[in-house]
């Protein structure tokens, strides 16, 4: 603010002259009239009535005038501000009314349109996959077996020939349920159902066991801490590795059509010999192997993708269930159901499988059947 203006000089306070004030009012009214939306009107409000507007600045000069001039200027500015505020309020009412009318038109609901019907749900793709896999095996005369997700450590590990210090028992992988002395774990695979089936059923045994399994993993695009496996177990007289291969090929063809499988040696305590089952890459069919111009993201140009584990049932597992290993032999396999869904239906992100968004389920409609 200016200091006291002892010798009143009208030039110094030009903004307070009548014609200047009239110009400010005219500019404000023109800006309000030009504003057609709440936001442009708001800008005009700040420019013409805000703290830094010409009228507000002029108002601040009043105090510097001698008494009579101060009274005149005060009245003039006061009147001008009143006029501007009134015009602003009137314009705001008009603009808001126009906006409301536009919105009502835009959001109009045509009640005469036909009802699109209720939105359809769909079984979850994992459930659909489990049904499909079960059907394949039931079609071959197998039975579907079930076991608990909270499992005895003995069945999850010991009866499957996991030695006491085996790394898979470590807390980092296995979710142990308190009290620790109860020796209960969230099952880390569906293989304990092998033992349960052998203890509960008459021989021969042909079962598949689909279900939830648990490992201490972080959720990301390729890992979920709660996932699904399908276990297969056959124990009969004269069963060999050839029966295992034939069964796996049939299973793979039922899932993926005409596709080749490959087995690679591996180790599992409960099967001997053991193998990893790979599927021919369903995207490049092996064409990307050794071809740097044609890389395949799905199989990292390996030509094969891992599907699960398998092997001939270790006689120690049969013996733990009281079965005569001279007469009976068998094979077992375990596949990831999420992986099967990823390969079969191109579901690239595992997180979609746990989020429960019905759009994911309906997007795979018909594919999992
Ligand atoms: N249980 C094994 C796993 O979770 C898979 C498997 C099942 C291997 C049956 C061999 C036989 O990795």
Task: State the DSSP string of 5-48.
Answer: -SS--TTTTGGGSHHHHHHHHHHHHHHHHH--SHHHHHHHHHHH
**DSSP 8-state symbol, 166:** -
Residue spans of beta strands (DSSP E) within 238-303: 261-268, 271-280
What pLDDT does 5 receive? 52
Decide if 5 is inside a domain: no
Ligand 1 mutation pick, 208, 213, 226, 270, max ligand atoms within 8 A of CB: 270
Q: Is 191 in the pocket of ligand 1 (CB under 6 A)?
A: yes
Q: Do both 232 and 359 map to the same domain? A: yes
Q: Do both 78 and 195 map to the same domain? A: no
Report the nearest atom of ligand 1 relative to the CA of 194.
9
Nearest CA to ligand 1 atom 12: 309
Q: Do both 155 and 293 map to the same domain? A: yes
Domain that holds residue 180: 125-363
Q: Do both 166 and 37 map to the same domain? A: no
Decide if 369 is inside a domain: no
Q: Is 156 in the pocket of ligand 1 (CB under 6 A)?
A: no
Decide if 238 is inside a domain: yes
What pLDDT does 368 receive? 45
Q: Do both 67 and 205 map to the same domain? A: no
Q: Do both 99 and 172 map to the same domain? A: no
Contact 201, 207 (CB under 8 A): yes
Decide if 143 is inside a domain: yes
What pLDDT does 369 receive? 45
Q: Is 310 in the pocket of ligand 1 (CB under 6 A)?
A: yes
Q: What is the CATH number of the domain that holds 222?
A: 3.30.930.10
Q: Do both 182 and 219 map to the same domain? A: yes
The size of the chain, in residues, is 369
What pLDDT does 41 receive? 95
Q: Do both 182 and 272 map to the same domain? A: yes
Q: Is 189 in the pocket of ligand 1 (CB under 6 A)?
A: yes
Decide if 28 is inside a domain: yes
What pLDDT does 125 receive? 92
Decide if 116 is inside a domain: no
Bond preceding residue 273 cis, omega within 30 of 0:
yes
Decide if 68 is inside a domain: yes
Report the nearest atom of ligand 1 relative to the CA of 274.
10
Paired with 186 in beta bridges are 150
The low-confidence residues of the chain, meaning pLDDT below 50, are 11, 368-369
Cα–Cα distance for residue pair 331/271, rounded to 1 Å:
8
Q: Is 309 in the pocket of ligand 1 (CB under 6 A)?
A: yes
Reported as a single tens digit per residue, the pLDDT across 67-92 is 888 888 888 899 999 999 999 999 99
């Amino acid at each position: 603010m200016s200091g006291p203006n002892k010798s009143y000089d009208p030039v110094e306070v030009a903004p307070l002259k009548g014609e200047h004030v009239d110009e400010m009012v005219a500019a404000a009214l023109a800006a309000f009239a030009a504003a057609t939306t709440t936001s442009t009107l708001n800008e005009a409000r700040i420019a013409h009535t805000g703290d830094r507007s010409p009228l507000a600045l002029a108002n601040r000069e009043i105090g510097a005038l001698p008494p009579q001039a101060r009274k005149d200027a005060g009245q003039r500015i006061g009147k001008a501000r009143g006029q501007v505020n009134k015009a602003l309020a009137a314009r705001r009412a008009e603009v808001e009314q126009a906006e409301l009318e536009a919105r009502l038109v835009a959001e109009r609901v045509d009640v005469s349109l036909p009802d699109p019907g209720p939105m359809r749900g769909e079984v979850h793709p994992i459930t659909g996959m489990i049904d499909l896999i079960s059907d394949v095996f039931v079609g071959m005369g197998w039975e579907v077996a079930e076991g608990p997700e909270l499992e005895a450590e003995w069945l999850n590990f010991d009866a499957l020939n996991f030695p006491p210090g085996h790394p898979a028992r470590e807390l980092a992988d296995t979710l142990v349920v308190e009290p620790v002395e109860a020796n209960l774990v969230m099952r880390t695979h569906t293989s304990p159902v092998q033992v349960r089936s052998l203890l509960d059923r008459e021989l021969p045994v042909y079962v598949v066991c689909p279900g939830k399994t648990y490992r201490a993993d972080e959720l990301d695009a390729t890992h979920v801490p709660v996932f699904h496996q399908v276990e297969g177990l056959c124990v009969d007289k004269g069963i060999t590795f050839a029966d295992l291969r034939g069964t796996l090929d049939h299973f793979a063809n039922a899932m993926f059509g005409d596709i080749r499988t490959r087995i690679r040696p591996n180790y599992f305590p409960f099967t001997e010999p053991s193998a990893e089952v790979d599927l021919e890459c369903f995207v490049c069919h092996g064409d990307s192997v050794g071809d740097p111009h044609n890389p395949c993201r799905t199989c990292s140009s390996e030509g094969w993708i891992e599907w699960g584990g398998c092997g001939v049932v270790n006689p120690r597992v049969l013996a733990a269930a009281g079965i005569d290993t001279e007469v009976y032999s068998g094979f077992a396999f375990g596949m990831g159901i999420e992986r099967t869904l990823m390969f079969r239906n191109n579901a690239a992100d595992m997180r979609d499988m746990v989020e429960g968004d019905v759009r994911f389920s309906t997007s795979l409609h018909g594919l999992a059947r």
